[in-house]
Structure 1
Amino acid sequence: MKLHIWLAGLAALAWAGLAHAGPVGFETASAPVAGDKPLALTIWYPTEATERPTPLALYIQSVAPGGAPAGRGHPLVVISHGTGGSNADHYDTARALAAAGFVVAAPTHTGDTQGDRSRSTRITERPAELSRVIDYMTRDWRGRDTVDATKIGAFGFSSGGFTVLGAIGGEPDMTRIARHCAEHPHFYDCQLQRQLGGAAGAPAAPAPVAHDPRIRAAVVAAPALGFAFAPTGLSKVSIPVQLWRAEWDTVLPQPYYAEVVHGLLPRAEYHVVPAAEHFDFMAPCSNTLAKVAPSICVDSLDRAAFHKAFNSQVVAFFQKTLR
């Protein structure tokens, strides 16, 4: 009952965010990275072309594949997925943004996918990849003339939340991980550190976090390594932030992650989702995905209903901060 009341209130507040819903174009691209592998991108954008059911990884989405980008002055939102994920993980949120007049670009972070975990512990390198995506979308993408390069936002989930916090000015102290994991060896991030800490090619010291002042607003959901930002690690963040936490997050249990970020960013728009688990921020699972990855598809709530409200609120936030 608490969840239903919360969803109803959230949807009512955000309804205006989806007042305009136009057709959504879709395409894949590759953003070159100097001295490294190119970044695989998925891109959603306003179009006048006709949508049709289209496969994307293990999902089916309604989009117009290859449709011509339409309009001018669209804000750009870049999306950063969680560890071991892909650029399809938040397709429904991306599509909702594009239907409301945004251009959206999501990279698959190099070496941090289900099939390649070689760089999963090199998380401080991720913010620079977001900057490369912004470069590509504003300079090289075929629809760059439809993008307003002065209106850029970022969305991140889990490790992607950490990525976005770093990109907008966060300065993590990565030495805090050792103490955290000594105290909480059973936590997911500490187990991952043990499993992958010796990955081939891992640098002796973490790379500096690349900040990108072009990002003017951010949505951060269930951020990883929140404890690494204490006590002054987010003091340089000055843009609007919408922060989300799952009430029953067993992957990143509180108060070590989102709660730390909330304490350091007290003016952030903060949402705690009743009865939600960590993976509820990912797109509702298809039947195929549920068979392949059941652990991320065990819902503690009606994920489809939650995402209608969640996506509306994300759209409304970016409309307010980037329009």
Structure 2
Amino acid sequence: MKFRKIVTLSTFVSALALSILPSQAAGLKFLEVPANNRGPVLTAAVWYPCVGKPIRVEIGFDYSTAVRDCPLTGEKLPLIMISHGVGGWFGNYHALAEMLADAGFVVAAINHPRDSGQSKTRDPNDIASMTQRPVDMTRLVDFMLDRWSGAPQVDPARIGVFGFSRGGFTGLAMIGGNPDWKLLLDNCPTYPGNRFCEQIRSSAIAPLAGDPRIKTAVLVDPAGGSLFTAEGLGKVTVPVQLWASEYGGDGLSPKDAATVAHNLPAKPDYRIVPNSGHFSFLPPCSQEFAKLVANSGEPELCTDTAGFDRVAFHKQFNADILAFFRKNLIEAEQ
């Protein structure tokens, strides 16, 4: 009985102490990367560790649960860069960003100017919408390390990238991958407005520039994955977690991720998600967003095959990505 009283008192005191301590939360700032000779202004959002009470913060098509503009806490923090798919925007993976920020990561995401759903100058049918993406991300890394207010607290030796669809292509390019564009001519897309194959035939496309600061990557259903030969991936040396849908969709096939998995020099952490389509990797849609895409004629963005639970999947998906980044950017340095 005496022992039980002591435990009860100890538990009460601990709970009281926790209740009066400030709580860890995801901070959120909106920023712009200035235009330069490599590209136009980039609109971005940054999630990061801070102390405060998170609330609903509107981020465009959705909202993030975060603390707006609170001070960054911590030192030598790892940095994760997020690259969205065509028609996406910097808030697509806000739940993942919030989880990473709560765990001590700084997370930065941009709207790619040529194919973001929020861009006024988008032209996803020009091959520059693909080749410019790694440049966009490198400019974001430069900004985060040199000009962002929290730059002194970011560790430049611990940077990772997450990318979905065209963002997966972007991530491959950032870690040193280069596609063989001529392979696209064997099965050239013919949808209205597409100029990729015309541009490939008419001009040489310069190799994509990697970014040696990227130390690990999570790539999700990478667009154009079948264009990456063993030679094109021969310079990749960083750990990769590679996710693939079972059925593909939106121009992607299971062959894209399978080709990348086969041709990477080192075996990736390769995961094929049963019963999933390409858009199953998009986070669960809010009611407002589901209504928006239904009215635009693209309800497949928010629907899955029978029996696939997108809400349950993304909880595990985010947790597995956090574990991978923690293993390769935090535990690997200890």
TM bucket (normalised to shorter chain) is 0.7 to 0.9
Structure 1 residue 253: Cα displacement: 4.5
The answer for the alignment partner of 1:94 in structure 2 is 97
- The farther-off stretch of 308-317 and 108-117 is 108-117
SS across alignment from 1:127: helix
The answer for the alignment partner of 1:13 in structure 2 is none
2:151 maps to 1:144: yes
The answer for the alignment partner of 1:104 in structure 2 is 107
Structure 1 residue 168: Cα displacement: 0.4
RMSD: 2.1
The answer for the alignment partner of 1:5 in structure 2 is none
Q: C-alpha offsets along residues 257-288 of structure 1, whole Å, 9 cap, x if unaligned? A: 10100111261001111111111212211111
The answer for the alignment partner of 1:185 in structure 2 is none
Q: Unaligned 5+ residue runs, structure 2?
A: 1-22, 294-298
Partners in 2 of 1:49 and 1:141 — Cα distance? 21
Q: What amino acid is aligned across from residue 289 of structure 1 in structure 2? A: F
Q: What amino acid is aligned across from residue 163 of structure 1 in structure 2? A: T
Q: What amino acid is aligned across from residue 257 of structure 1 in structure 2? A: D
SS across alignment from 2:193: helix
Count of residues in correspondence between the two structures:
293
Would you say the 8 A contact 1:26–1:42 is kept in 2?
Answer: yes
Q: Unaligned 5+ residue runs, structure 1?
A: 1-20, 182-189
After superposition, the Cα gap between the structure-2 partners of 1:254 and 1:119, relative to the gap in structure 1 and judged at 3 Å, is closer
Would you say the 8 A contact 2:248–2:254 is kept in 1?
Answer: no
Partners in 2 of 1:134 and 1:164 — Cα distance? 13
Matching residue within 317, 320, 327 for 1:320 = 327
SS across alignment from 1:105: strand
Partners in 2 of 1:309 and 1:155 — Cα distance? 16
Structure 1 residue 292: Cα displacement: 1.1
Partners in 1 of 2:256 and 2:110 — Cα distance? 24
The answer for the alignment partner of 1:311 in structure 2 is 318
Would you say the 8 A contact 1:39–1:109 is kept in 2?
Answer: yes
Would you say the 8 A contact 1:125–1:207 is kept in 2?
Answer: no
Identity %: 38
2:176 maps to 1:172: no
Q: What amino acid is aligned across from residue 107 of structure 1 in structure 2? A: I
Partners in 1 of 2:245 and 2:327 — Cα distance? 24
2:286 maps to 1:281: no
TM-score with structure 2 setting the length: 0.83
Structure 1 residue 24: Cα displacement: 0.3
Larger Rg over CA atoms: 2
Would you say the 8 A contact 2:246–2:254 is kept in 1?
Answer: no
Partners in 2 of 1:229 and 1:113 — Cα distance? 24
TM-score with structure 1 setting the length: 0.85
Q: Which has the higher contact order (CA 8 A, sep 6+)?
A: 1
